[in-house]
C-alpha cells in the first residue's frame, strides 16, 4: 500500500462523478450503529469492483470520507503519554514512535466509501501501513488504563472529527 492516499482519493472522487454516482461527502460512518459488510480490500483492493457491485444493485448514493493525519493528533497523544502509567523506557519508545509519524502530517491515512442496501452498510476502506503503526500506539496508550478528563472523548476525536 502507498504511504499516502491523496492521489487515490482524488481519482476515486473523479471516477464517482464521471460514472454519475451521487457523491455524498460524509464523516466516517463506522461509528454509527448498523450492520456492516466489509469489502476485502486485501484480496480485492480495486475500488472499481466495489462500485460495480453498487451499480449492479441499483445503488447510486455513495458516502465518501477521507481521514487526514494532523499535528493535533500527535500532540494529544504526547499529552496523554505524560499521564499514563508506563515505565520510563516504554514512554520513551512511544514518544519516539509518535514523533516519527510527524512526516505524515497533512497526508490522508484512510479512505472510506460506503453505500446502503437492504438495511446493511457496505464498506470499502483503505488505510496506509503507517496508520497501523498509529493504531498500535493508540492501543498501547489505551491499555495503560488512563481515563480521559471529564468532557473529553479521548484521542481528540481522531476517528470521528476528520
Residue 157: the pLDDT is 46
Contact 128, 71 (CB under 8 A): no
- Cα end-to-end span (Å), the chain: 21
pTM to 2 decimal places: 0.76
Lay out the sheet containing 120-127: strands in order across.
Answer: 22-25, 61-68, 108-117, 120-127, 35-38
Query: Can you list the positions of beta strands (E) in 39-157?
Result: 61-68, 108-117, 120-127
Predicted pLDDT of residue 100 = 92
- Tell me which H or E stretch contains 53: helix 47-56
- Residue 32: its pLDDT value, please? 79
Domain boundaries, the chain: 6-145
Position 135 scores a pLDDT of 87
Q: Is 6 helix (H, G, I), strand (E, B) or coil?
A: helix
Say what the pLDDT of residue 161 is: 41
Per-residue pLDDT 10s for the chain (162 aa) are: 454 699 999 999 999 999 999 999 999 998 878 899 999 999 999 999 999 999 999 999 999 999 999 999 899 888 888 888 888 898 899 999 999 999 999 999 999 999 999 999 999 999 998 888 888 888 888 887 555 545 444 444 444 444
* 143-150 contact pairs (CB < 8 A, 24+): 144/84, 144/85, 144/86, 145/85, 146/80, 146/83, 146/84, 146/85
List, in order, residues 6 or more apart from 31 with CB less than 8 Å away.
Answer: 159, 160
* Contact (Cβ atoms closer than 8 angstroms) between residue 156 and residue 72: yes
**Cross-strand pairs, 115:** 122
The pLDDT, as a whole number, for residue 87 is 87
Amino acid at each position: 500500500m502507498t504511504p499516502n492516499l491523496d492521489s487515490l482519493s482524488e481519482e476515486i472522487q473523479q471516477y464517482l462523478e464521471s460514472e454519475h454516482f451521487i457523491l455524498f461527502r460524509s464523516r466516517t460512518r463506522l461509528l454509527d450503529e448498523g450492520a456492516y459488510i466489509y469489502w476485502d480490500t486485501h484480496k480485492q483492493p480495486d475500488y472499481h469492483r466495489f462500485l460495480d457491485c453498487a451499480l449492479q444493485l441499483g445503488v447510486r448514493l455513495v458516502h465518501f470520507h477521507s481521514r487526514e493525519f494532523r499535528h493535533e493528533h500527535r500532540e494529544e497523544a504526547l499529552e496523554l503519554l505524560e499521564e499514563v502509567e508506563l515505565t520510563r523506557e516504554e514512554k520513551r519508545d512511544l514518544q519516539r514512535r509518535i514523533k516519527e509519524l510527524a512526516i505524515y502530517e497533512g497526508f490522508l491515512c484512510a479512505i472510506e466509501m460506503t453505500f446502503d442496501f437492504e438495511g446493511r452498510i457496505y464498506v470499502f476502506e483503505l488505510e496506509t501501513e503507517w496508520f497501523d503503526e498509529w493504531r498500535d500506539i493508540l492501543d498501547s496508550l489505551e491499555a495503560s488504563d488512563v481515563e480521559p478528563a471529564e468532557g473529553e472523548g479521548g484521542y481528540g476525536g481522531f476517528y470521528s472529527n476528520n
